A and B are shown apart, each in its own frame.
Chain A
C-alpha cells in the first residue's frame, strides 16, 4: 500500500522532474510569458501574441499532450494549418477590412508596393548564403512580406518545422515597424527630400472601378502566378464583398466573427509549434535576425523607389512614402505621416502613404504568389 501511495505521489511530481530534465521547456515557458507581456502590457499585436504566448506555455509544460496525436491543439492544427485554411480565412477578413481606394486613386503607388517586397528576395539570398536549405530559405525570406498570414501560408506548406520562428518574427517585427522604419528613412533621405510637400490626392474613384478591381486583380494575378491564387483570391473576395455593398452580413462576419475565431486558433497553433526541443536553437535566433534584416531591406528598397519616383516626377514625390510600401497596414502609412510632419508641419503624406501601403498589401501577396509560381516553374515544388 505504501508503494502505491509513493507511486501516486510520484505521478504528481513527474512534471517537475521532467522540467528539470529538459531545461529548454523552462526557457520556452519564459518566452511564452515574454510574449504575453508584450501583448498585454506593451500592446504589441495582442490579438496574436496573447494566444501565441499561451499556446507556447501550454505546449512546454512537461508531458503536455496538447500537440500529441489526440491533443486538442493538434486537432485544430491539422484542421486549419495543415490544410492552409486559417491564413486564407484571415485573408478574406483582411480584404473585407481594407479600403484600396487610395491605391486606385494613384495606381503608380503599386510600384512602391513592389519595391517594399524586395527584402523577401534579398533575405532569401542571405538565408541561402548562411546554409539554410532552399525551401527553408524561401520561408525565411517571406518574413519580408511583413504579412503574417502570407508568411504562415508559405511556411506551413514548405517548411512547417519553422512555423513558430517565422510567425513570431513576422508578427513581432510588424508591430515594431514604428521603431524600425524611422531611422532608416532618415538615413536614406536628405532634409530637403523629407520636407517635400505632396499635392493632395483629390481624384475620386468610381464604385464600378472599386468593384472591378478585385475581379481584375484576381484574374490577372491568377493568370500570372496561379500557385498564389488562394492568397490573392481570398483577399480579393473579401474586398469584393466590401465594395459591392450587397452582402454586408458576410462582410461583417468575415472581418469580425470569422477573423476573430481564426485568429484565436491560429495563435494557439503557432504557439503550440514552439516546443523547447525544436525552438531553442541557434537557428531560431538566426531566423529572427534574418527577419529583422528582411524588414529593414524592405524599407530601404521602398525609400529608394520613392527617390526614383521623385527624380522621374521632377521632385514632386516625398521619398518617405516609399517606406509605406510594405504590408503592415495601416501602421506603415501612419509612421510615414508622423515622420513627414516631424520635418515639415505643412506636409500631409497620409493619403499618399495609404496608397503605397495598400499597394504593399497587394504587393506582399503578389510577391508570395510569384515566388510560389517561380518555384513550381523550376520544379522545386509541385
Chain B
C-alpha cells in the first residue's frame, strides 16, 4: 500500500473511529447516569 493511501485511510478511519467510539461511549454513559441516578439519602426519623 502506498503512503498516501495509508495516510488518508488512517486519518479517516482513525480520526473517525476515535470520535465515533467516544461519542457512543458518551451516549452510553449518559444513559447509565439516567438509569442509575444518585438516590437521595434517607433521613432517619
Contact = CB atoms under 8 A, between A and B. Distances in A.
Contact of B25 (A138, A205, A220, A370): A220
Most buried by A among B15, B25, B27: B25
Determine chain A's interface SS by DSSP, over half rule: helix
A374 B20 CA distance: 14
Interface residues of B, number: 30
Contact of A104 (B7, B13, B15, B29): B29
Contacts of A138: 10
B22 A124 contact: no
B21 to A, nearest CB: 5
Question: Which of B13, B26, B27 has the most chain A CB atoms inside 10 A of its CB?
Answer: B26
A118 interface: yes
Contact of B7 (A124, A224, A366): A124
B14 A128 contact: no
Given A110-B25, A125-B7, A206-B38, A117 B18 contact: yes
B14 A371 contact: yes
Contacts of B26: 107-111
A209 B36 contact: yes
Interface string A178-205: 0000000000000000000000000111
Given A363-B22, A378-B1, A128 B28 contact: no
Given A128-B3, A209-B36, A220-B25, A111 B10 contact: no
Interface of B: 1, 3-4, 6-7, 9-11, 13-15, 17-19, 21-30, 32-33, 36-39
Given A121-B11, A124-B10, A224-B17, 7 more contacts: A104-B33, A114-B22, A128-B6, A217-B25, A221-B25, A362-B25, A367-B14
Interface of A: 103-105, 107-111, 113-115, 117-118, 120-122, 124-125, 128-129, 134, 137-138, 203-206, 208-209, 212-213, 216-217, 220-221, 224-225, 359, 362-363, 366-367, 370-371, 373-375, 377-378, 380
17 contacts: A110-B22, A110-B23, A117-B15, A121-B14, A125-B11, A134-B1, A137-B7, A206-B36, A213-B29, A221-B25, A224-B24, A362-B22, A363-B18, A363-B22, A367-B14, A374-B9, A378-B9
